[in-house]
Structure 1
Amino acid sequence: MDILITIQHPAHVHFFKHAIDEFEARGHDVHVRALDKDVALSLLDAYDIDYKVLGSRDGSVTRAALATLAIECRLYREAKRIQPDVMTAIGGVGASHVAQLVGAKCVVFTDTEHATLSNAITFPFADEVATPGCYRDDAGAKQYRYPSYHELAYLHPDRFDPDPSALDGLPVEADDTYAVLRLVSWGAAHDVGDAGLDRLTELVTRLEDAGATVLVSAEDDALPPELAGYDIDIHPALIHHVLAYADLFVGESGTMASESAVLGTPTVYVHSTNPGLMDDLASFDLLFGYHGEDRNERAVRRALDILRSSNDDWDDRRQSLFNQKVDATDVIVQRVLVAAS
């Protein structure tokens, strides 16, 4: 069987990497087509995944829209040549359209309710829309809900074991008190109108005053010049080890916030939206989400409280989560193979 996977974001590489291994171990041919987005290609290289690049989608909304059309055309040419049995992706705008044109089944995975435009032009063309059980929206008869998160395709304990040597070269060790601050560029289509943290220099100072070394991870041009010395200089494939040993995560990135939470790292998430995934993680007291006009001050207060607290039950909270969630890679493999059959 031929399976065509499209990658639009670095997190999609993590999501599919173990499923790719499973498919290939069962004798299926996997074809990966990727966008040149942030560190996605570096991750594909690090995991030794063969791929071809479809293009990139940067710049203004108009330029991004034109690039999307060009990317779909390239994907169509690739799919027509490969003749896949199944196409799959996170989000899956291009995959759902092209699958219709080449007669392939299409399984779309999503956990992003506020990607309203993308969802509207994707779901009608997909054969199945697979969502975490906490996904708030109703995608209709095609929706398949499963008890897990995207992040548990690669951070489930059966898939990931943190390695303290991954911190070599950073100004911290695994048993040091440190906080990771994640900043995003707000360039994605579903980010339009969103905003996260402000007064970043003051935030870093307050975290340091509370006893934490601060490491900053930033997308593109999101890092203010005055915080350049805090930037994490590490291969992107190692970032989850850094998150696993952190005492605190504060950030604007929904992906990295949910990754930190499932790793058992106290997580403060600042955003102007509140997706179902974040509410579900909050129900296990692993993540504290703040949105609204006063989100910054409330988030900072919570972050400082966490650093000053003597609570050490984060592993118990994490175990409570795993008592209710499954390995998402198993779900990916099952849904793709079911679609093909």
Structure 2
Amino acid sequence: MNVLFDINHPAHVHLFKHAIWELEADGVNVLVTSRTKEMTTELLDAYDIKHIPLSGRRPGTLGLFAEWAVREVRMLNTARKFNPDVVVGRLNPPLVHVSKLLRAPNVIVMDTEIKSPAIDRAYAVLTHPFIDVYCTPPSIEPPHDGVDHHLMDFQELAYLHPNYFTPDPAALEQFGVDPEETYFVLRFAGWDAFHDVGFTGLSPDGKRELVEYLSAHGKVYITSESPLPEEFAEYQLPIPSHLVHHLLYYADLYVGDSGTMSSEAAILGTPAVRVSSMVSKDSESIFYELEHRYGLMFAYADEVAALAKVKAIVEQPETKTLWREKRDVLLAEKGDVTAQLVELIWKASGQKRPRQIVVESPSGEVTEPQ
């Protein structure tokens, strides 16, 4: 069997890496197409995942549409030679168009809602008619009746579930990070993705106030999607990007305007404070559940309120123990997303999987993936 994965963002590397390795262990031929955005290709290289870059990030909405056109032609030429049985990725026009042109079913994993009505309508026209298998949280409806729609647990569990992720203090110590020390991780998003149009995160003054307060209580490490201003250079992340989840696990607090890293920190049992003007219009189930069901995250549109919550968490002595207990509750209720995804890929191919993996839940119960 031949399976093509299309990876456009650093988070997608983590989302699909274990599925790629599971399929390769099944004897499947895997081809990965990539995009030179932020640390995407660096992460693929760090994990020794061979890939073919098809395009690079272009600024603005018009730049994105131009990139899609280039990417579609290159993906079609690449995929035609590979002859995929299944195409897998996050929802984007080149991916679903190429899968239809080659008559290879696609498996789409999606958990991001586009808040701009105009962009959402354009994206729907370009993609929705071509989706075959759609894996989403409950907050995202299937685009049409013909879609094979599957509800999927938090997609971050595809790589942060205990079946795949084990925190390693030695991985941090080799880069001068002491996991036993008090430290805080900050993430500043770039806010130039198409689904971010019209929204903002932390202001420059808010970032300064946050860094000033936290640096008085421990070390501060900053990861930024756009170039980090000179005033924050001393706080630049000291570790390779593929080790960031180990850093998040041992952190005393995460604060940022990135949705993905906020949920990653929360799922790892680290207090997470998300600051974004998008919060007031959120309907994405992961953020709601992490905040209101599990109490692992706090989300604010108002950065003044967010800073007040940051101070309250930092000054609470038993925070880490409490959050680990909350994480245990989450893991007892949520499944192995990679196992779910691999089964769906085999099902879409119409072929029989040569081996069946059993998955042990945190409670010790052994079950077969559904």
Q: TM-score, normalised by structure 1?
A: 0.94
Corresponding residue for residue 210 of structure 2: 203
Matched residues in 1 for 2:144 and 2:328: separation? 32
Q: Which runs of 5+ in 2 are unaligned?
A: 351-370
1:294-330 deviation digits (Å, cap 9, x = unpaired): x101111111111111232111110111111111101
- Partner Cα separation in structure 1 for residue 124 and residue 286 of structure 2: 17
Residue type at the aligned position of 2:286: L
- Paired residues in the alignment total 335
Answer yes or no: is 1:191 the counterpart of 2:200. Answer: no
Match of 1:218 in 2: 224
Code of the residue aligned with 2:167 in structure 1: it is P
Runs (4+) off by over 3 Å: 117-120, 136-141, 169-172
Deviations 1:128-163 (A, max 9, x none): 111124x34453432533351111011101100111
* Residue 178 of structure 2, aligned match among 170, 173, 178: 173
In structure 2, what is the Cα distance between the partners aligned to 1:119 and 1:145? Answer: 19
Aligned-residue sequence identity (percent) comes to 38
Deviation at residue 119 of structure 1 after TM alignment = 4.5
SS in 2 for 1:157: coil
Give the CA deviation at 1:168: 2.7
Which amino acid in structure 2 is aligned with residue 24 of structure 1? E
Task: Output aligned runs, 1:1-341, within 5 Å.
Answer: 1-114=1-114, 116=120, 117-133=122-138, 135-141=139-145, 142=147, 144-168=149-173, 172-198=177-203, 199=205, 200-209=207-216, 211-221=217-227, 223-273=228-278, 274=282, 275-282=284-291, 283-291=293-301, 295-311=302-318, 312-341=321-350
- What are the Cα deviations for residues 34-89 of structure 1, in whole angstroms up to 9, with x where unaligned? 01111111111111111111011222322221111001110011111111111010
Alignment RMSD, CA only? 1.6
Distance 2:290 2:148 in 1: 21
DSSP 3-state at the match of 1:249: strand
CA distance in 2, matches of 1:248, 1:143: 39
Q: Is the 8 A contact 2:75 2:98 kept in 1?
A: yes
Distance 1:196 1:110 in 2: 22
Residue identity in the other structure for 2:306: A
Q: Tell me, what secondary structure is at the counterpart of 1:269?
A: strand
Which one-letter code corresponds to 2:66 in the other structure? L
SS at match of 1:237: helix
Deviation of the 1:171 alpha carbon: 5.7
**CA, structure 1 residues 189+177, in 2 after alignment: closer, same or farther (shift >3 Å)?**
same
Report the residue type matching 2:221 in the other structure: L
Secondary structure of the equivalent of 1:179? strand
Give 5+ residue unaligned stretches, structure 1.
none
In structure 2, C-alpha distance between the alignment counterparts of 1:254 and 1:63, rounded to whole Å? 23
The 1:225/1:137 distance shift into structure 2, 3 A limit, reads farther
Partner SS state of residue 144, structure 1 = strand
Local SS of the residue matching 2:294: coil
* SS of corresponding position for 2:295: coil
- Residue identity opposite 1:184 in structure 2: A
Deviation at 1:213, TM superposition (A): 1.7
Does the 8 Å contact 2:142/2:149 carry over to 1? no
What is the alpha-carbon distance in structure 1 between the residues aligned to residue 176 and residue 132 of structure 2? Answer: 48
Please say if residues 129 and 144 of structure 2, whose CA atoms lie closer than 8 Å, have aligned partners that are also in contact: no
The equivalent of 2:357 in structure 1 is: none
Q: What is the alpha-carbon distance in structure 1 between the residues aligned to residue 125 and residue 249 of structure 2? A: 36
Per-residue CA deviation, residues 239-267 of structure 1 (Å, 9 max, x unaligned), is 11100000100001111111101100000
The alpha-carbon deviation at position 197 of structure 1 amounts to 0.9
Q: Is the Cα–Cα contact under 8 Å of residues 132 and 148 in structure 2 kept in the other structure?
A: no
